């Protein structure tokens, strides 16, 4: 049995997945998750404005990577793949961060392109998914949002089209500004954000099929799992209750509108949002509503799976394991 790990260094959070590959041969290996962690570090805070990663953001993130290194050692992990996404792509000083990350984690992060990020999101979100294509996989990140249109082929689901839009919950929040989002005209600010995202999706919308009967929507991100938790009125986040859930689109739209109308204190008071997500969740709602406008599915499938799981599957494929 071998143990492998994936580290997803995002614009807003850093996620770890440690798993054991249990089996006598690559073809019959089973994946047994051992450790899942997520820490919000805001690595990309201010990157859109300064084009550089702030020293305190680098320190917050490397502190978490040191914690993850200890976990890797504790679990006896033999292979690690770490990736960095939008914040690092946009930063002129990313090599400074990569050096600090290597010292903390023992592995140099790989810089993913938007296409590679979309592909890993697809791999992770569709793991163990039995729903037939076509469907749209949505990954709302901190600095970008990846959209992947999946269709059915003789060999199984495959990517038909993808798009990486330059708006995530951090970048979109910073573009509008705290005063606008917390002021008396915050619903107008929310409408502006939706319009901004809709324009960013316009080219991708032209790639979508005109015939959309039976279309499906699958979301994998902190925004989607958080809104699903609000829908279920969970007192605290429970992955077992959220992963695999199907939420009516009307319910998601209602929750998004409710959250957009609240002030910071009201949002902080909602279980599963709290202080860590209260300032960014409104932007996530705006992005999700813009997506629903171009892909009007009846339900939103929720996957607490994403790039981490995609990284893990990519490691398995390299070693000859059957996916």
pLDDT of residue 130: 63
pLDDT in tens, 125-138: 877 666 666 789 99
Distance CA 211, CA 169 (A): 30
Q: Which residue has the higher pLDDT, 253 or 295?
A: 253
Residue 219, H or E segment:
strand 216-219
Kind of pairing, strands 2-9 and 79-84? parallel
| 238, pLDDT greater than 60 | yes
153-171 pLDDT per residue, tens: 777 677 888 999 999 999 9
Query: 165: domain range?
Result: 128-302
Report if pTM > 0.75: yes
Given a cut of 90, whether residue 205 has pLDDT beyond it is: no
Residue 221 CB contacts under 8 Å (≥ 6 apart), including other chains: 138, 139, 140, 141, 284, 306
Q: Once rounded to an integer, what is the mean pLDDT over residues 29-34?
A: 81
Mean pLDDT, residues 300-316: 88
Domain end among 112, 140, 168? 112
If you count them, how many residues does the chain have? 323
Domain identity same for 270 and 164: yes
Confidence of residue 323 (pLDDT cuts 50, 70, 90): very low
Domains identified in the chain, total number: 2
- 252, 166: one domain: yes
How do residues 268-291 score in pLDDT, each as one tens digit?
999 999 998 999 999 999 999 999
Residue 62 maps to a domain: yes
300 vs 270: CA distance, rounded Å: 21
Q: Phi first, then psi: give them for residue 66, nearest 5 degrees.
A: -65, -40
Which single residue is written with the structure tokens 């495959």? 158
């Amino acid at each position: 049995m071998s143990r492998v790990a994936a580290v997803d260094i995002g614009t807003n959070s850093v996620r770890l997945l440690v798993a054991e590959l249990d089996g006598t041969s690559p073809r019959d290996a089973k994946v047994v998750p051992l450790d899942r962690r997520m820490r919000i570090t805001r690595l990309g805070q201010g990157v859109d404005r300064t084009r550089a990663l702030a020293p305190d953001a680098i320190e917050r993130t490397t502190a978490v990577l040191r914690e993850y290194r200890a976990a890797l050692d504790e679990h006896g992990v033999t292979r690690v793949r770490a990736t960095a996404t939008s914040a690092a792509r946009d930063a002129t000083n990313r090599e400074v961060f990569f050096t600090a990350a290597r010292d903390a984690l023992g592995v140099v992060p790989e810089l993913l392109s938007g296409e590679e990020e979309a592909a890993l999101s697809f791999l992770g979100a569709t793991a163990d998914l039995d729903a037939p294509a076509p469907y749209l996989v949505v990954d709302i990140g901190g600095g970008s949002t990846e959209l992947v249109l999946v269709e059915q082929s003789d060999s199984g689901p495959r990517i038909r089209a993808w798009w990486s839009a330059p708006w995530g919950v951090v970048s979109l929040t910073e573009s509008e500004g705290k005063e606008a989002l917390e002021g008396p005209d915050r619903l107008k600010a929310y409408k502006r954000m939706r319009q901004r995202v809709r324009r960013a999706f316009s080219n991708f919308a032209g790639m979508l099929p005109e015939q959309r009967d039976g279309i499906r929507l699958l979301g994998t991100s902190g925004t989607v799992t958080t809104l699903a938790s609000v829908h279920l009125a969970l007192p605290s986040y429970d992955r077992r209750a959220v992963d695999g859930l199907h939420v009516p689109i009307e319910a998601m739209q209602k929750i998004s509108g409710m959250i957009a109308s609240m002030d910071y204190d009201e949002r902080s008071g909602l279980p599963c949002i709290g202080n860590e997500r209260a300032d960014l969740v409104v932007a996530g709602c705006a992005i999700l509503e813009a997506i629903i406008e171009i892909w009007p599915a009846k339900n939103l499938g929720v996957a607490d799976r994403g790039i981490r799981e995609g990284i893990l599957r990519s490691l398995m494929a390299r070693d000859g394991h059957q996916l």
